[in-house]
Amino acid sequence: MLMRIGGKESPSLDDAWTEVKNPATGEVIDRIPAGSADDVARAVDAAETAFRAWKKKTPRDRGMILFHAAENVRKQHTDLAALLTTEQGKPLAEAIDEVRGFANILEFYAGISAQQQGEMIRLGAAGDCLVTREPLGVCGAIIPWNMPVLIMGWKVGPALLAGNTLVLKPASTTPLTNLRLGKILDESGLLPGVLNIVTGSGESVGEPLVKHPSVRKISFTGNVTTGLRIRDLAHQGLKVITLELGGSDPMIVMNDADIDKAVDGAVRGRFYNAGQTCTAVKRLYLHESIAEPFIRKMKERVESLRIGNGLMPAIDMGPMNNAIQREQIAGMLDETRDKNNGTILTGGCTLQEGTYKQGYFYQPTLVTDVVPGSRLVTDELFGPVLPVMTVPDLETAIREANNTRFGLGASIWTSNLATTRRAFDEIRAGIIWVNRHLTVPPEVPFGGTNESGIGRENGHHALDQYSETKTLFLGW
């Protein structure tokens, strides 16, 4: 597949290529251009040219194009989802959810397009001011491989509705569905150059995009180390930034919770997308009085998960997306065993026999008796492994929940309103779910505190991150 610049397909100027592999089978499924700084420059030029006309369209006209694109995505959702599973690994049902989620996001922004308004400040004899929001110009978006379609929607929807143009860099292991969606958006009425997609590595495409002087904003989702580098580069150019850097979300289950519902929530919250979700349940805190039956039920459920190629019917969990990611998880479990940092209740190994041989499969894993301060609870566990801890009371649970560098999401499972209120007030995170975890529909602002990042995506709040205030002062 080719990259997209100025509404057209394009190879890289260097005619260099890189392969995309199926993480379930190891087979090469396509090749994409290995772009360079020169390709980024071409894309930024196309985006600058398109910006002049795109910003003059009314928000409603821009919204109608997003709406039309959403319709076209829905018509092709089965093919798009199969492509996503093939490059990313997730089960087809999850891929369908994600593609529909992309359409939902475009429809949400289309739906609020006619509500974009400014304000008027009356200053008596001095005059009147009209205050409005202006688009920033050319924006850059750098996205990861775990939810490449949804995260593309989180950036494309608000950026384009606000009147910006965009250069998007997909992750190297999952560029194909992003490219296909770019084509659908172009064919749905975007002016050529409003959305450009440049493929290639973080170093050869991502960094030149962040450094390009005409790019006014960078929105990045990925790991903390890359995020900090991007922050430093972007600050040198005084760019606006949004950083979504993952999390180590705690899930707290109190003794008045609906246990079966909470077990469902923990299994889905942890093992959806093979655990590779920024808001996945990454640490489970159980009230000690319900811990024994909870862990027993959870173990049964985890051991019954069907693992395999996401394109096969009735699969609950696919492979991990790439070898590096699986090695990271395997390394952490080896360390847990070697240092006696916990009891591996189930799982704890790579799957590499028979049908699993060529893929990046890892067993769904539960660890109990976790030693406080071990990497299982201090690092972001981006894979199908859940450390389970017990707590004597809410106060301890909240203290442990906050004992992290991150602050993306958290959930409290209880039927008590006062418990809910206290958890909401005291847990440091961008979103606190009650009797639920993971769900983020387009209306809901999303983003974290501390090392989870800067800024919010989703919801109408995201439009503020893609626009700036401009004032017309009328001296009568």
Smallest distance from the beta carbon of 209 to ligand NDP, in angstroms? 7
Q: How far is the CB of 376 from ligand NDP (least distance, A)?
A: 14
Residue in 184, 230, 366, 431 binding ligand NDP, rule: CB under 6 A: 230
One of 7, 33, 140, 206 touching ligand NDP (CB under 6 A): 206
Among 9-17, 62-70, 138-146, 424-432, the segment contacting ligand NDP (CB under 6 A)? 138-146
- By CB under 6 A, is residue 396 in contact with ligand NDP? no
User: Which listed residue (245, 320, 388, 431) binds ligand NDP by CB under 6 A?
Assistant: 245
Structure tokens of 68? 């039309």
Q: Which stretch binds ligand NDP (CB under 6 A): 72-80, 93-101, 119-127, 220-228?
A: 220-228
Position 223 contacts ligand NDP (CB under 6 A): yes
Residue 146 binding ligand NDP, by CB under 6 A? yes
The Cβ of residue 15 has, within 10 Å, a number of other Cβ atoms equal to 8
Residue with Cβ nearer ligand NDP (275 or 348): 275
Q: Does 202 bind ligand NDP (CB under 6 A)?
A: yes
Within 151-170, which residues bind ligand NDP (CB under 6 A)? 169
Contact (Cβ atoms closer than 8 angstroms) between residue 200 and residue 36: yes
The catalytic site residues sit at 155, 244, 278, 457
Total of residues contacting ligand NDP (CB under 6 A): 28
From residue 115, give the alpha-carbon distance in Å to each of 60, 62, 137, 439, 460: 9, 13, 21, 26, 10
Check residue 144 for interaction with ligand NDP (CB under 6 A): yes
243 lies in the site for ligand NDP, by CB under 6 A: no
Tokens of 168: 């998007």
Residues that bind ligand NDP (CB under 6 A): 142-146, 169, 171-172, 201-203, 206-207, 210, 221-223, 226, 229-230, 244-246, 278, 325, 328, 380, 382
